[in-house]
Chain A
C-alpha cells in the first residue's frame, strides 16, 4: 500500500511559473523525502526534511512539512522545461525482517513544463 498520496496527479505549467505539489502520509515519520524521476530513469534525491523541521530550501526548491496534518508540499519556483519529470514523496518503511528500512513512495505527480 502507498504511504503517501500526491496531489495533483498531473500538473502542466508554463516556464517561469511556480509548481506546487502536495503529499499526505499516514504514519508517524522521522523524515520525509522528495525524489524526482525523469521518464524511464532512476530516482534522484531532491531534499529531505526532518520531522522537527517545518520548512527547508534548496535552490529553487522549497519543502514544507506539517506533521499535525501529516502533509508536505514541494514548491518549485521559476520552473524550467528541464523540470519536467515525475516527483515522489517518500517516507521510511520498516522492511519485513526489520533489518532494513526502505522507502515507501507516494503515487507521484507528473509535472510538465512547456516553454
Chain B
C-alpha cells in the first residue's frame, strides 16, 4: 500500500498563532487527499477533501478560513490551522485513497499530528 507521512508528529503552539501540518504521499500520486480530525477517545471526523490544483472542499461545520488547505502537488497537501485556540487541540490525520472511481476502496493514513494549543 501507499506510504503516507505527516510532519510534524506533534506540535505545541500558543493561542492565536498558526500551525502548518504537512501530509506527503511518498510513493503514490494522489489527486485527492482527505483530512480528518480526532478528539480524545472519539472517532475520526472528516474535515475536508483536498484536491490537487483546485480548492479544497469542506464538510459542514468546518470553517474554511480557519483550516486552510493547499494541495499544490500530487504528493503534498498542507493543512494550516490559523489563529489556533485551545479547542482546536486535536489529532489531525490525513489519508489518501487507493483508487479513483465511485467505489470506496481502502485508504492509507498518515501517522497523525497531535496539536496542542495552550
Secondary structure class of chain A's binding surface, majority of residues? strand
Residues 88-118 of chain B, each 1 if its beta carbon lies under 8 Å from chain A, else 0:
0001010101000011111111111010000
Rounded to whole angstroms, the CA-CA distance of A104 and B32 in the bound complex is: 16
**Contact between B49 and A105, CB atoms less than 8 A apart:** no
Residue A58 at the chain B interface, CB threshold 8 Å? no
Interchain CB contact (< 8 A) of A45 among B36, B45, B46, B107: B107
Interchain CB contact (< 8 A) of A40 among B32, B46, B91, B106: B91
The interface of chain B, by Cβ under 8 A from chain A, is 1, 4, 6, 32, 34, 36, 42-46, 49, 51, 57-60, 91, 93, 95, 97, 102-112, 114
**Contact between B51 and A30, CB atoms less than 8 A apart:** no
Chain A residues in 8 Å Cβ range of B112: 40-42
**Contact between B107 and A42, CB atoms less than 8 A apart:** no
Q: State which of A14-22, A66-74, A93-101 sits at the interface with chain B.
A: A93-101
Q: Give the bracket for the number of chain A residues in contact with chain B.
A: 20 to 34
Least Cβ distance of B95 to chain A in Å?
8
21 contacts between A and B (CB under 8 A): A31-B105, A33-B104, A35-B109, A40-B112, A42-B112, A43-B44, A43-B95, A43-B109, A44-B109, A88-B44, A95-B34, A95-B49, A95-B59, A96-B49, A99-B51, A100-B32, A100-B51, A101-B103, A102-B36, A102-B49, A103-B104
Shortest Cβ distance from B107 into A: residue: A103
Name the 10 nearest CB pairs between A and B, nearest first.
A92-B104, A97-B57, A42-B109, A42-B111, A43-B109, A45-B106, A100-B32, A105-B43, A95-B49, A102-B34
